[in-house]
Structure formats: C-alpha cells, structure tokens
Amino acid sequence: MIRFSSAAAVALALAASLPAPLPARAADLAAGKAKARACVNCHGLDGLSRQPDAPNIAGQIEMYLIEQLRAFRDGERRNPQMTVIAKPLSDADIENLAAWYSAVEITVTPPE
C-alpha cells in the first residue's frame, strides 16, 4: 500500500480534477507571414514598428499576441486601426500571425 502525505493527496486530487489541456494546433508560419501583409504599414513584416504609435511585436510571446489579437477582434480591447484589422481574423489566422511574429528573432543591446 502506498501512503501519501495529506499535502500530496490534496495535490493529486487537484491535478486529477483539472481539465485535460486542449491539443495544440500546429500554427502555420507561412500562412502567418502571408497574413502579416496587412500589418506591414504599422508593424512591418518583421514586426518592427513603422509608426510611432504602433508597438514592436517581433519576438513577442506567442500567447500574449494571441490574447491581444482576440481581444481586439472581440471588442474587449479597442484601437481604431486594430479593431478593423482584427475583426475578420479567424482563430487560425490569429494563431498563425502570433506564431510568425513570435518566431522573429531579435537582438538587444543594452546601453553601457
């Protein structure tokens, strides 16, 4: 018979009650790059901003980009340009865009 401490038993019970993670969908980098053409004027194809009021998104965390694009699409976050651009995006479009921009490698040189 295996004996667990009460803390271990609680941890096992909690883990067993969590929902199974959803299977990951493989994002399509080529589709993300193609869809990013709509982003070029402000964010650039490489994710480095072309406009002073648009953030750099190159190398940003994929899940963050997904959450923000969904928030713009669903009206939870508002910006005149982004609301229009994000409205027609499907979940797959958003995942592909996020995969593309998060895969862009950037280097940082801090000041001395």
pLDDT in tens, 25-80: 578 999 999 999 999 999 988 999 989 999 999 999 999 999 999 999 999 999 99
For 85, the 3-state DSSP assignment is: helix
- Half-sphere CA count of 89, side-chain side, radius 13 A: 30
Model pTM score: 0.75
% the chain with pLDDT above 70: 78
Note the Cα 98 to chain centre separation in Å.
5
Q: Which domains does the chain have, with CATH numbers?
A: 28-103 (1.10.760.10)
